[in-house]
Amino acid sequence: MSGAVLITGGAGFVGTNLAARLLSSGRKVLLFDNLARAGVEKNLHWLRTTFGDALRVQIGDTRDAQALRDAVSEASEVYHFAAQVAVTSSLEDPLADFDVNLRGTLNLLEAVRHSAHRPSLVFTSTNKVYGALDDVELEATETRYRPVEPRLRVTGVSEHRPLDFHSPYGCSKGAADQYILDYTRSFGLDAVVLRMSCIYGQHQFGNEDQGWVAHFLIRALERRPITIYGDGKQVRDILFVEDLVDALLQCQTRMPTLSGRAFNIGGGPSHTVSLMELLDRIAKLLGRQPTVSYADWRVGDQRYYVSDTHAFTSATGWHARVSVGDGLAQLCEWLRTQRGDTETPMPRTHAA
């Protein structure tokens, strides 16, 4: 399987969408996944059923250095998504979070460094590397927070923002982010880091700790209550997964000019939504109001985070194409199909 694309965490939400795009274009794909996350078996079954022998799967854990070396030996490109993904889980078990997110990444870097052909690497980091952004002065409107500083309101948070890891999850992902950048300096590896905001779309089985857009939709479809931590005015820029896949592929295509850099990736200021606003959009999609309860703020929760994506756009020409309204409608339709839902869907909106 020489020349395959290796995707760690490949049966997860982002990995499945990337694998499908690559396989559809005729590329061979090797998925490396320990199948620990709920829902990934469904994704893996769908990929195998849809693409057959073009897909190869290695059930393994990134904490197993030898298994990673074996996988890397067959790869021409690597996408590293395997991770512990929840702040809450990292607070409950910091050692496991460290082992998966940092030791697992270091195992992969060493596998790439010592391989005969050194495949290029794209890593998905997180906006949590910038911390809680407590120094950003905010004002509250009826439905959302927004920065007092006009320029930040227009552009979002750029890569010039100082790193400020919060929570064990922020530390482990942030350290992995920095290790990858340093391996490009110290050992000459080709690698790009994407610091991601909130990604959503098909093949996402979101829960309360991660994948909140899908989680809200799933709970609403099931007519189960949604818990809001804080006041619901928290703002995020959200990015539809197909737009993220475009960005990931651009990283590999333009690796010679992008290697050694970290970029913020999200929907940007034109694709923002607060939790309260998302609930309103869901109500319009479903034709009924979701049931909501409120609880205390969680550790490290950012009241406002919006990505400034100008650096990546300038380097590649990429920009988010799918509007918030269209993306939510597509995710809702996919979730209904998964559930066998017979409710008549509301008309798709083209609102941004």
In the chain, the amino acid numbered 175 is A
CA angle 177, 181, 182 (to 5 degrees): 115
Cβ atoms of 240 and 327 within 8 Å: the answer is: yes
Q: With residue 274 as reference, give the H or E element that holds it.
A: strand 272-274
Cβ atoms of 193 and 180 within 8 Å: the answer is: yes
Q: Has 169 been annotated as catalytic? A: yes
Q: Which residues contact 161 (CB under 8 A, 6 or more apart)?
A: 130
Return d(Cα 9, Cα 256) in angstroms, integer.
25
Return d(Cα 337, Cα 122) in angstroms, integer.
32
Cβ atoms of 156 and 308 within 8 Å: the answer is: yes
What single DSSP character describes residue 291?
P
Looking at 169, 179, 200, 305, which residue is catalytic? 169
Give which of 31, 42, 37, 72 is closest to 334, Cα–Cα.
Answer: 42
Q: Is 230 left (phi over 0), alpha (psi -120 to 50) or beta?
A: left
Residues annotated catalytic, as ranges: 169
